[in-house]
């Protein structure tokens, strides 16, 4: 299957700093990328949907000024957690799909575990 690379796999940062997470599609053009967050013992929750070249669409309750998403190319989307606080500590995972390919062609990255001290 197609490969989505997510980096870093884990990061520890101090409160108040910003952290950038990258999501790359390695062998297909990802017209749409999704960012999820998962707290311990909870479901993967969709944070936002990004289409290449457009502003991201955020789910209700997700602060767009805190979670900056950039999808400037067909192979790369980034999520920046700005001024991170301990409550932002979570598992973040991206998924990517190519236009018109449907759910079966949705591929996930390996996730990033963020710990904010």
Pairwise CA distance, residues 117 & 53, whole Å: 34
CA distances from 1 to 28, 53, 67, 107 (A): 10, 25, 29, 8
Q: According to the binding rule CB under 8 A, does residue 104 interact with another protein?
A: yes
Scan residues 41-100 and list those touching another protein (CB under 8 A). 41-46, 49, 93, 95, 97
Instruction: Determine which residue in the list 17, 54, 110, 115 makes contact with another protein, applying CB under 8 A.
Output: 110
Instruction: Determine which residue in the list 8, 9, 63, 117 makes contact with another protein, applying CB under 8 A.
Output: 9
Contacts to another protein by CB under 8 A = 1, 4, 6, 9, 32, 34, 36, 41-46, 49, 93, 95, 97, 102-104, 106-111
């Amino acid at each position: 299957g197609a490969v989505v690379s997510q980096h870093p796999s884990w990061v520890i940062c101090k409160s108040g700093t910003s952290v950038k997470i990258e999501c790359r599609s390695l062998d297909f053009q990802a017209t749409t990328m999704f960012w999820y967050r998962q707290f311990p013992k909870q479901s993967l929750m969709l944070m936002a949907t990004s289409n290449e070249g457009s502003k991201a669409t955020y789910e209700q309750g997700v602060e767009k000024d805190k979670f900056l998403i950039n999808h400037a190319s067909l192979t790369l989307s980034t999520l920046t957690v700005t001024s991170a606080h301990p409550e932002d500590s979570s598992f973040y995972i991206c998924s990517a799909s190519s236009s018109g390919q449907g759910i079966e062609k949705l591929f996930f990255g390996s996730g990033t575990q963020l710990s904010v001290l």
